[in-house]
């Protein structure tokens, strides 16, 4: 049965949808960034190959993180009650995300500042840990939103930190990590050539199949244990959306694995990206209206209407985003087009190559 609630305004529905789109864009783009960071100690055999892997995301990784800032900013401006409850009650998990992002930024920006193997190795591990932490925490967090996070009458989160680590949430965390590993491995195969691409393809095949199995378990558990119609304001339509989009995400991962096997890197990347997108749609369909919360006070629940900003604020935000978002998306698309070509060790500046390659001339 669809829960009783006040009817949301058009602008409230629009901004919930835009928040979902921003999170979708973030996980699609930053997902392969995280994957590349986590794969540094797995796929690269020496410093030159690690340099090539980092260079595949070098021009875009910081731009991809802007989607997280925009998603957080949209939540703060459009639904300040949502934002306030999250940051007051989930401070430690959000701190872990911030810590991971700081480690990644330091690793990518300072790696080349000293010509020391120990220095570079330490920063490479910072990039790996800094990519793993947000992937795991976001997976655990959004799985808890699917399950429902309890809030008290004061609209503050009413459950402890360790209660977030329930079995379903841990499955969500592992799913996000493995899914981003698959997305990142496919991206590396798409953007590199030579031995790195061969190893990336081999890893991507295993990772896409593993993420398909985890995705299937997540979707089945979600829809059987917590049917969307019981909490989502979309009612029975939410149940249909969660089942259809969840199972399509599973199918896309199996298709991606088939594309990896055929070495169709572009198609494989598109299908892992679609799997991420459909998973996010599945999650936000479940969160529609209640924002992923279970309110103790049914008279004043924390939901899309009570957490919202004023109509005037939402109107101004809509006008501003309508002007700014197309420019940002256009610029980011242009940057991806400019840096679209494959990379290999041979593309590194000669002074940056640490040892001669097989078949390379050492004369001069």
How much is the pLDDT for 354? 54
Confidence of residue 325 (pLDDT cuts 50, 70, 90): confident
Confidence of residue 361 (pLDDT cuts 50, 70, 90): very low
Residue 10 has pLDDT above 90, yes or no: yes
- Other Cβ atoms less than 10 A from the Cβ of 10: the count is 10
Average predicted confidence (pLDDT) for the chain? 89
pLDDT > 90: percent of the chain: 66
How much is the pLDDT for 160? 83
Confidence of residue 210 (pLDDT cuts 50, 70, 90): very high
Q: What's the pLDDT tens digit per position in 43-54?
A: 999 888 999 999
Q: What's the pLDDT tens digit per position in 57-111?
A: 988 988 899 899 999 999 999 999 999 888 888 889 999 999 999 999 999 999 8
The candidate with the shortest Cα–Cα distance to 39, out of 176, 200, 205, 160, is: 200
For 144, half-sphere exposure in the C-beta direction (CA atoms, 13 angstrom radius) is 24
CB 283 within 8 Å of CB 169: no
Q: What's the pLDDT tens digit per position in 120-176?
A: 999 999 999 999 999 999 999 999 999 999 988 877 888 888 899 999 999 999 999
Look at 273 and 353; give whichever has higher pLDDT: 273
């Amino acid at each position: 049965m669809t829960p009783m609630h006040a009817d949301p305004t058009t602008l409230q529905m629009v901004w919930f949808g835009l928040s979902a789109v921003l999170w979708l864009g973030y996980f699609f783009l930053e997902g392969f960034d995280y994957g590349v960071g986590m794969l540094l100690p797995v796929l690269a055999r020496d410093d030159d190959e690690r340099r090539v892997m980092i260079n595949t995301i070098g021009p875009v990784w910081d731009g991809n993180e802007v989607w997280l800032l925009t998603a957080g900013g949209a939540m703060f401006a459009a639904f300040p009650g949502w934002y306030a409850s999250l940051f007051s009650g989930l401070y430690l998990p959000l701190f872990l995300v911030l810590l991971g992002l700081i480690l990644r930024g330091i690793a990518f920006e300072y790696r080349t500042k000293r010509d020391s193997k120990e220095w570079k190795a330490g920063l490479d591990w910072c990039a790996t840990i800094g990519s793993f932490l947000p992937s795991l925490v976001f997976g655990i967090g959004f799985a808890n939103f699917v399950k429902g996070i309890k809030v008290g009458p004061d609209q503050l989160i009413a459950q402890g930190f360790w209660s977030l680590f329930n079995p379903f949430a841990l499955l969500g965390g592992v799913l996000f990590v493995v899914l981003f590993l698959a997305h990142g491995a496919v991206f590396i195969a798409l953007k590199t050539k030579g031995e790195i691409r061969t190893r990336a393809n081999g890893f991507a095949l295993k990772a896409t199949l593993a993420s398909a199995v985890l995705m299937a378990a997540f979707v089945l558990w979600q829809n059987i244990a917590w049917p969307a119609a019981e909490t989502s304001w979309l009612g029975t339509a939410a149940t249909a959306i969660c089942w259809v989009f969840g199972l399509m995400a599973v199918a896309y991962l199996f298709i991606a694995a088939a594309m990896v096997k055929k070495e169709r890197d572009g198609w494989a990347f598109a299908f892992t990206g679609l799997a991420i997108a459909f998973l996010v749609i599945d999650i936000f369909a479940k969160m529609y209206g209640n924002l992923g919360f279970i309110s103790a006070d049914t008279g004043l629940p924390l939901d899309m209407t009570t957490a919202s900003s004023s109509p005037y604020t939402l109107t101004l935000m809509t006008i501003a985003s309508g002007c700014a978002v197309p420019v940002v998306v256009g610029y980011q698309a242009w940057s991806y087009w400019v840096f679209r070509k494959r990379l290999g060790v041979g593309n590194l500046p000669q002074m940056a190559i640490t040892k001669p390659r097989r078949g390379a001339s050492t004369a001069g």
